[in-house]
Amino acid sequence: MSQSADNVIDHAALFLEPQYDSMIEAKRKNFENAPPQAEIDRVREWTKTVEYQDKNFAREALCINPAKACQPLGAVFAAVGFEKTLPFVHGSQGCVAYYRSHLSRHFKEPTSCVSSSMTEDAAVFGGLNNMVDGLANAHALYKPKMIAVSTTCMAEVIGDDLNAFIKGAKEKGSVPADFDVPFAHTPAFVGSHVTGYDNAMKGIVEHFWNGKAGTVAKTERQPNESINFIGGFDGYTVGNLREVKRLFDTMGVSYTILGDTSDVWDTPTDGEFRMYDGGTTLEDTANAIHAKATISMQEFCTEKTLSLIADAGQEVVALNHPVGVTGTDRFLMEVSRITGKPIPASITRERGRLVDAIADSNAHIHGKKFAIFGDPDLCLGMVEFLLELGAEPTTVLSTNGGKAWEAKVKALLDASPFGKDCQVFAGKDLWHLRSLLFTRPVDFLIGSTYGKYLERDTGTPLIRLGFPIFDRHHQHRYPVWGYQGGLNVLVKILDKIFDEMDKNVVAGVNDISFDIIR
């Protein structure tokens, strides 16, 4: 018997024990009607071929292992970045259970969000009553300063009108007439979580700038010297926003982060649960209209939001999740240009340190081939960084990337000799990527936790960068933006490269290069 009180073993070791191994094998043989091993081996090898890849790419209807989620997830993400704001998703309650779980699995933090719990009767009669009761209950129980409403696909399919419903709820006294209830329609069958982020952010900005749903006069913009900053849907939001704030403070820039999620997903364990923490104040959000300009760190998360802001009279700058030296240079130079504040020597020194680190280590990365998958902006940022490291991006894939994204990645690749052998795939999924990793092998794969299935199947080592990261802890606490963030990414890549060199080494067999100095 393998289990013992002295040394308790769990699933990781228990099921490798012979008594379990033979039991599972017998089950398979006697009851599962499993295909013969030779047949499994044949099909497995076949899935590695170009022939299989062609069939795989001929798919028109089936989506397998996509690297994208649905709109309301992004809406919830955007909403929790505002002071004492409770996200409220109108529609079926199951979806909300999923968003909360999904975000908590990544951040290892609670995520508060309510649902209007629509059921079959609401499907027939519409969800007005659910909105009326839901707002009243949410307001009474959780005492938010603002409730940000979005929708699940149920509410979208039956065509519930949020604007009218919220008005109706206010008339019935669910929340005070002047209580802030911005909203966004977030149909899950359009775009992805980054679209939902955009819609929700736009809904909130519009609410505060355009007269709070007709309850007050539209704000007259009186331009000042401040800038606005939007991070977008970002798995590193805690570390990144803190880093960005530090950079702004160092430069002496006056700024407003729209959607500051850095505190709510990083509250202390000290005996108190803070359902709300930090976040952009509602006052700052309203005043953000007067800013000189708005910088978005992720273009594809903020397309509609930025166009609204541009219409309000501000300059808008859209970046693509800048990572590394050039990307950070561009970000800071834009900040400097817009605000007139010079980039101080201390930041120039940080830049120098990142360049120093790259110069020290780049020999280990130069010429290495990489496949990258993830959200559109993240892919762009990572490609640019890899190019400046002398690495060779070989495959770039974004399930929620479109034509415009594809063109942008190609332009970036075309501008570098290191990008010439790279292929770009918009709208493809991770089963497509599986084929590509067999037919166009690379040295390393960059992507979210879902990439671990690809690592297992194709043997390509995975460097975890993206969202979600479920199976490694606390990654989100470290920035990937700014020179400091670039350094973190560099170290992550290097650690994996060195770990791979030392992996599977057996004394006397293949340990000639088992060096202690590199």
Partner 1 sequence: MSSAIAATTEDIKARNQELIGEVLKAYPEKFAKRRAKHLGTYEGDKPDCGVKSNIKSIPGVMTIRGCAYAGSKGVVWGPIKDMVHISHGPVGCGQYSWGSRRNYYKGTTGIDTFGTMQFTSDFQEKDIVFGGDKKLGKLIDEIGVLFPLSKGISIQSECPIGLIGDDIEAVSKAKSKDVGKPIVPVRCEGFRGVSQSLGHHIANDAIRDWVFEKTGDKLAQFESTPYDVAIIGDYNIGGDAWSSRILLEEMGLRVIAQWSGDGTIAELEATPKAKLNILHCYRSMNYITRHMEEKFNIPWVEYNFFGPTKIESSLREIASHFDDKIKEGAEKVIAKYKPLMQAVIDKYKPRLQGKRVMLYVGGLRPRHVIGAYEDLGMEVVGTGYEFGHNDDYQRTTHYIKDTTLIYDDVTGYEFEKFVEKVKPDLVGSGIKEKYIFQKMGVPFRQMHSWDYSGPYHGYDGFAIFARDMDIAINSPIWKLTKAPWS
- Sign of torsion over alpha carbons 44, 48, 51, 54: positive
Nearer to ligand SF4, 64 or 491 (CB): 64
Nearer to ligand SF4, 150 or 296 (CB): 150
Per CB under 6 A, residues contacting ligand SF4 are: 70, 72, 95, 98, 152-153, 188
Residue 415 binding: pick among partner 1, ligand SF4, none (C-beta 5-8 Å cut-off by kind)? none
* Residue 329 found at the interface with partner 1 (CB under 8 A): no
* Residue 72 found at the interface with partner 1 (CB under 8 A): yes
Nearest approach in angstroms of CB 453 to ligand SF4 is: 21
95 counts as catalytic: no
Applying CB under 8 A, among 188, 227, 257, 379 the residue interacting with partner 1 is 188
Contacts for 431 with CB less than 8 Å, ≥ 6 apart: 56, 64, 65
Q: Among 87-95, 226-234, 250-258, 336-344, which window interacts with partner 1 (CB under 8 A)? A: 87-95
* Residue 425 found at the interface with partner 1 (CB under 8 A): no
* Residue 102 found at the interface with partner 1 (CB under 8 A): yes
Nearer to ligand SF4, 165 or 209 (CB): 165
Contacts for 192 with CB less than 8 Å, ≥ 6 apart: 68, 69, 70, 71, 74, 399, 400
Residue 134 binding: pick among partner 1, ligand SF4, none (C-beta 5-8 Å cut-off by kind)? partner 1
* Residue 63 found at the interface with partner 1 (CB under 8 A): yes
Residue 518: CB atoms within 10 A of its CB come to 12
Ranges within 131-160 binding partner 1 (CB under 8 A): 131, 133-142, 152-154, 157-158
Nearest approach in angstroms of CB 105 to ligand SF4 is: 15
Q: Rounded to the nearest 10 degrees, how much is the dihedral formed by the CA atoms of 176, 177, 182, 188?
A: 80
Nearer to partner 1, 329 or 455 (CB): 455
Q: Which residues pair with 373 in a beta bridge?
A: 397
Integer Cα distance of 140 and 235 in angstroms: 31
Nearer to ligand SF4, 98 or 431 (CB): 98
Nearer to ligand SF4, 152 or 488 (CB): 152
* Residue 93 found at the interface with partner 1 (CB under 8 A): yes
- C-alpha distances in Å from residue 87, one per residue of 115, 288, 395, 452: 8, 21, 37, 31
Integer Cα distance of 357 and 206 in angstroms: 43
Closest CA to 162 of 130, 185, 139, 145: 185
Applying CB under 8 A, among 119, 215, 224, 510 the residue interacting with partner 1 is 119
* Residue 112 found at the interface with partner 1 (CB under 8 A): yes
DSSP annotation of 296: E
157 counts as catalytic: yes
Nearest approach in angstroms of CB 134 to ligand SF4 is: 16
Integer Cα distance of 51 and 237 in angstroms: 41
Ranges within 216-275 binding partner 1 (CB under 8 A): 267-274
* Residue 18 found at the interface with partner 1 (CB under 8 A): no
CB 49 within 8 Å of CB 43:
no
Nearer to partner 1, 111 or 294 (CB): 111
Identity of the amino acid at 339: T
SS (H, E, C) 140-175: HHHCCCEEEEEECHHHHHHCCCHHHHHHHHHHCCCC
> Coil, strand, or helix at residue 471?
coil
User: How far is residue 164 CA from its own chain's centroid?
Assistant: 32
* Residue 23 found at the interface with partner 1 (CB under 8 A): yes
Torsion angles phi and psi, residue 458, rounded to 5: -110, -10
- Of 153, 317, 323, 325, the active-site residue reads 153
Residue 423 binding: pick among partner 1, ligand SF4, none (C-beta 5-8 Å cut-off by kind)? none
Residue 33 binding: pick among partner 1, ligand SF4, none (C-beta 5-8 Å cut-off by kind)? partner 1
Residue 518 binding: pick among ligand SF4, partner 1, none (C-beta 5-8 Å cut-off by kind)? none
* Residue 34 found at the interface with partner 1 (CB under 8 A): yes
* Residue 340 found at the interface with partner 1 (CB under 8 A): no
* Residue 92 found at the interface with partner 1 (CB under 8 A): yes
Q: Which position's Cβ is nearest ligand SF4?
A: 95
Say if residue 468 is preceded by a cis peptide, omega within 30 of 0: yes
Nearer to partner 1, 112 or 305 (CB): 112
Residue 267 binding: pick among ligand SF4, partner 1, none (C-beta 5-8 Å cut-off by kind)? partner 1
- Of 63, 157, 190, 355, the active-site residue reads 157
Applying CB under 8 A, among 85, 130, 261, 285 the residue interacting with partner 1 is 130
Nearest approach in angstroms of CB 449 to ligand SF4 is: 19
Residue 207 binding: pick among ligand SF4, partner 1, none (C-beta 5-8 Å cut-off by kind)? none
C-alpha neighbours within 13 Å on the C-beta side of residue 507:
0
Give 252-287 as a DSSP string. Answer: T--EEEES--TTTTS---SS---SS---B-HHHHHH
CB 454 within 8 Å of CB 48:
no
Nearest approach in angstroms of CB 202 to ligand SF4 is: 19
User: How far is residue 234 CA from its own chain's centroid?
Assistant: 4
* Residue 123 found at the interface with partner 1 (CB under 8 A): yes
- C-alpha distances in Å from residue 448, one per residue of 232, 393, 468: 17, 17, 6
Integer Cα distance of 498 and 443 in angstroms: 12
Instruction: Give the residue numbers annotated as catalytic, written as ranges.
Output: 153, 157
